[in-house]
A = this chain, B = another copy of it.
Amino acid sequence: MAKQDRAVRTREQLIRSAAEAFARSGFGLSSLSDISTGAGVSSGALHFHFSSKRELGEAVESAAAETLRGIIAPCPPGHPDPLRLLVDTSHLLSQRLTQDVVLRVGFGLGNDATWQEDAKLWLKWRSWVGATLVVAGERGDLAADVLPDAVVSAVTAAVVGSEILGRADAEWSSCRAVAQFWSLMLPRLAVRRGETGLP
């Protein structure tokens, strides 16, 4: 492996190990030596990449934001089924939050009292949901009595809440909670084509 590839891989291992430490002990109680040990590298290698725990925290957030950007590709105006895209993407986000500790901690750091930065990944998710609903509305896919703002809030809160509950309680699968949310919400949101009175 070329020297540069090794450096990239070490950096990624450190970010992952930092996320694992933050998830385990919170940002405030995580130590740099735990993080370098977890990544299987020396303390010197850690300091080559990161000058402080704060810098590691910022790197976790940036990596999580990058992953989120890959999940929420913008919905183009002519998309054939924006509501389906919304459902599928919320499932994908929920699944990735369960599997990817860097993404989870990037979202979760905002709830860690010992970490004062504001990644606001939830706000990015909320904006994406809003923009996707605009496309759905323009296509006439939304029931007339549904307020898009209300849907944005409900969908955002549902994904946040599923993630938190999934974290606290292994019996609570966040994917199941998201599926149940949509089994209720989708029939409410989607315009009922058969009931418009039109032929």
Residues of A within 8 A of B (CB): 22-26, 28-29, 108, 110-114, 118, 120, 122-123, 145-147, 149-151, 153-154, 156-162, 164-165, 167-169, 176-177, 180-181, 183-185, 187-189
Q: How many angstroms from the CA of A169 to the CA of B121 in the assembled complex?
A: 11
CB atoms of B123 and A164 under 8 A apart: no
CB atoms of A185 and B183 under 8 A apart: no
Q: How many copies of this chain are found per oligomer?
A: 2
CB atoms of A147 and B28 under 8 A apart: no
CB atoms of A157 and B169 under 8 A apart: no
Set of chain B residues within 8 Å of A108, measured between Cβ atoms? 111
Q: How many angstroms from the CA of A114 to the CA of B113 in the assembled complex?
A: 10
Choose among B25, B29, B118, B164 the residue that contacts A160 (Cβ–Cβ < 8 A): B164
Choose among B112, B164, B167, B181 the residue that contacts A154 (Cβ–Cβ < 8 A): B181
Set of chain B residues within 8 Å of A150, measured between Cβ atoms? 180-181, 183-184
CB atoms of B29 and A168 under 8 A apart: no
Nearest B residue to A115, CB-CB = B26
Q: A183-B147, A187-B188 are in contact. Are A113 and B157 (CB under 8 A)?
A: no
Q: How many angstroms from the CA of A118 to the CA of B26 in the assembled complex?
A: 16
Considering residues A145, A161, A177, which has the most beta carbons from chain B within 10 angstroms of its beta carbon? A161
